[in-house]
Amino acid sequence: MGHADHLAALDRLFARKPVASLEDLRTALGTESRTTVFRVVSAVGYRTSFSHAGRYYTLERIPKFDAGGLWFYRGIGFSSHGTLRATVVVLVDRSEAGCTHEELQAELKLRLHDTLRNLVEDRLVGRERVEDVYVYVSARPKVARAQIERRRRAVAKIPAAVPALDPARAIDVLVAVIHHPGDDPKAIVTRLAAAGRLVGLEQVEQLFRRYDLPGKKTARSRSRRSPR
């Protein structure tokens, strides 16, 4: 095949499938030579996947990158930033409040424990503990400080989870509602406390929301009444 034939074969391959393996390229170009394959794709511009150990290729013109510079085809990821390491560094550096492993994993669709550990060791990203979670931040100290501050403010605004009621106490609440359907959560808490069954107001409110209990509506309607 001459150069023009190689380019035509490449166009036919990527017209059928936007992402190809090295074997796909060898077959399409009629050669076993890795050097020939990369000489041809280099002439038109190509990208290597950041996922799947870089085993997949696409042409420069094909990906439609999102705002983060990412493009996926059938779970195979490509990045406008290049390699996985380079992509993680850019995503972390540009993030408003740093990134947790879970956030990066969701965005890149990859487990990144080893990559992140190596980037921290190479001082290409930083790592700080916020509450009980590690947050990866920019290697630039000023940017990192701002990211951590925003992360801490965001965490502070998240209300603590209300523990669910013990099943026995939940039954007590439901029985009390059946016998006193007009009671709101506060009244139920008071009624059960008088009977020696202690429950938290937030837990009872949670149960009312879960089962859409009528007392909740009564409580809201009472709160909307204007005083007479």
pLDDT in tens, 59-69: 999 999 999 99
pTM, full prediction: 0.67
Q: Over 80: is that where the pLDDT of 161 sits?
A: no
Cα 141 to Cα 118, 125, 145, 157, distances in angstroms: 19, 10, 6, 25
Distances from the Cα of 45 to the Cα of 2, 7, 62, 80, 117, angstroms: 18, 11, 10, 13, 32
**Residue-wise pLDDT tens digits, 202-213:** 888 888 887 777
Average the pLDDT over each of 60-64, 101-105, 157-161, 165-169 and give the range with the smallest value. 157-161
Q: What percent of the chain has pLDDT over 90?
A: 61
